[in-house]
Amino acid sequence: MDQKIWNFKKKSNKLSMIITLYLFQTGTMYLTLRLLEEKLLNENATIVIVSSDLHKRGLKQSYEYIENLNAGNYGGMAVYSQTKLFNLLFANYLLKSYLPKHYDKYRIKVATLHPGFIPTTELSRQIQNRFLRIVMQRILPILPITTTVEDGARRIYKAATDPESNGRYIGNGNIYVEEHVTARDQTLAKQLWDRSCELLDRQDWIS
C-alpha cells in the first residue's frame, strides 16, 4: 500500500492527494472496526494507534481543506502531518463515542503515541534530493533530536500494556503528554468519522 500511495503522490494531482490522505486514515479505521466486528479483540484489549508529534502541523479545521487540495499547497510532509492528526481524531472518537455505544460491555482501551523521529528506518527512501537524503541517513541519527527503533518499540509496548494508557498519548521520553487540543475536537472527529465511513461504504459504522 505504501508504494502505491507514493506512486500516486508523484503525480501531484488533486485525486492523488485525497487518496493519500484517505488511505492512511481509512486503512487504520477499517482494520480496527473489522477486528471489533469479527470479535477478534477480547473484552480487555488495548487498541494502539501510532500517530506522531507532527500532528500539530496538520491543524486544518475541516474536510473542506482536503476537498480543495491542489498542487500549490500540497507536500508530502503536509499530507503526512494531516493523517497523523486524523489518527488521533479517530482514536478519540473511537474511545469516547463509538466503543461506549456499541461495545459498552467490553473494557477496551485506546492508547496513542508518537514513536519518535527514527531516521534509520526507510523514512529517507522517499527523499529525492540527494543531499537531504544523506543528511537523513548519515547525520541526523547522531543528533539528540532523533530516537531509535528500540525506543519506539518501548513506547508501543507501554501503550499496549500499561493500565494507565487508556485515552492517553505517549510522547518523547516514553512519558504521557498532551496531544494538541485540535486532536480532541469531537465535532471535527465526528466529521472525519462520518466521511471515512462514506468512503468505505460502511454507513452502518456511522455513530
* Predicted confidence (pLDDT) per residue in 103-139, tens digit: 988 999 999 999 987 666 666 666 666 777 767 666 6
What average pLDDT does the structure give for the chain?
80
Instruction: Please tell me the predicted confidence (pLDDT) of residue 9.
Output: 47
CA-CA-CA-CA torsion sign (177, 180, 185, 188): negative
Q: Is the pLDDT of residue 4 over 50?
A: no
pTM, rounded to two decimals: 0.81
More confident site: 29 or 82: 29
Task: Please give the Cα distance from 34 to 118 (Å, whole number).
Answer: 30
Task: Please give the Cα distance from 45 to 63 (Å, whole number).
Answer: 31
Question: Can you say how many angstroms the Cα of residue 22 is from the centroid of all Cα atoms in its chain?
Answer: 11
Per-residue DSSP letter, 106: S
Q: Which domains does the chain have, with CATH numbers?
A: 2-205 (3.40.50)
Place of cell 492508547: 111
Instruction: Please tell me the predicted confidence (pLDDT) of residue 37.
Output: 93
Mean pLDDT of 27-39: 93
By CB atoms closer than 10 A (0-12, 13-18, 19+), residue 187 is exposed
State the pLDDT confidence band at 7, using cuts at 50, 70 and 90.
very low
Q: Highest mean pLDDT range out of 57-61, 78-82, 147-151, 186-190? A: 186-190
